[in-house]
Amino acid sequence: MTAAELIAMAAFKSNVYSQAFPAFGVERRGAPVQAFVRFDDRKIRLRSQIYEPDYIIVQDITLLKDVNVFAGLKEGGIAVINTEKDVENAPAGVKILKINATKIALEVLGLPIENTTLMGAFAAATGEISLDALKASLNERFAGPLAEKNIRAAETAYNIVKGEM
């Protein structure tokens, strides 16, 4: 949920309306959870869950065994996945973007918390949020050295993805 919230904040700072919400009632750190983000040029009124995403971010690859994370992903959609391994069962017409976010998070933050790293990868892969907006939202959410470290983690992932594109 933190990643969804930060992406919504960054998108808003990129001058679009945004909305972020968890799959209600089960949001806890460490448990398998879903969270959703919408962007739009106008105020967002729609309140249903998202069934046909343009993009997905998978934070934990072990979920691929149990959950069809690609369900509903639109043709031409992008999946940003925290892994270096091959991704099986990816549907045709979907762009898979792999990044070892856990490794980057461990190196930069010292903790396997990949939210901000994946956010950097998402920004680079989709172009939906700018690096500046991303940094601004991290500066708003975190203070002092924690903000700096998270920005570094996000920027590292951003540059890796940009370099591969």
Partner 1 sequence: MLQITEGSHAVAEAVKLCRPQVVSAYPITPQTHIVERLAEMVADGDLNGEYICVESEFSALSSCVGASAAGSRVYSATTSQGLAFMAEVVFNAAGMRLPIVMTIANRALGAPLNIWNDQQDSIFLRDSGWMQIYGEDAQEAMDLHFIAYKLAERHDVLLPCFVCLDGFIVSHTFEPVDIPSQKEIDEFLPAFNPLHRLDAKNPMSFGMYATPDCYQEFRYEINAAMIRAKAAYREIAAEFKAKFGRDYTGLVEGYRLEDAETAIVAMGSICGTAKDAIDEMRDAGEKVGLLKIRSFRPFPSEEVRTALKGVKNIAVIEKNISIGSRMLGAVGLEVKDAVYKDSPNIFSYVGGLGGRDIRKRDIKQIVQWAKEGRNDCFFGLREELLK
- Report in angstroms how near the CB of residue 8 gets to partner 1 at its nearest: 5
Q: Provide the minimum distance between the beta carbon of 78 and partner 1 in the complex, in angstroms, as a whole number.
A: 22
H or E element at residue 40: strand 35-40
Integer Cα distance of 97 and 107 in angstroms = 20
Cα separation, 23 vs 34, in Å, equals 5
Binding partner 1 by CB under 8 A: which of 3, 8, 78, 123?
8
Sign of CA dihedral 87, 71, 75, 17: negative
Regarding 44 and contact with partner 1 (CB under 8 A), the answer is: yes
Residue 134 phi, psi (nearest 5): -60, -45
The answer to whether residue 5 forms part of the interface with partner 1 (CB under 8 A) is yes
21 lies in the site for partner 1, by CB under 8 A: yes
Distance, CA of 124 to CA of 129 (rounded, Å): 8
Among 14, 18, 116, 117, binds partner 1 (CB under 8 A): 18
- Counting contacts by CB under 8 A, is residue 114 touching partner 1? no
Q: Rule CB under 8 A: which residues touch partner 1?
A: 4-5, 8-9, 12, 17-22, 24-25, 27, 43-49, 51
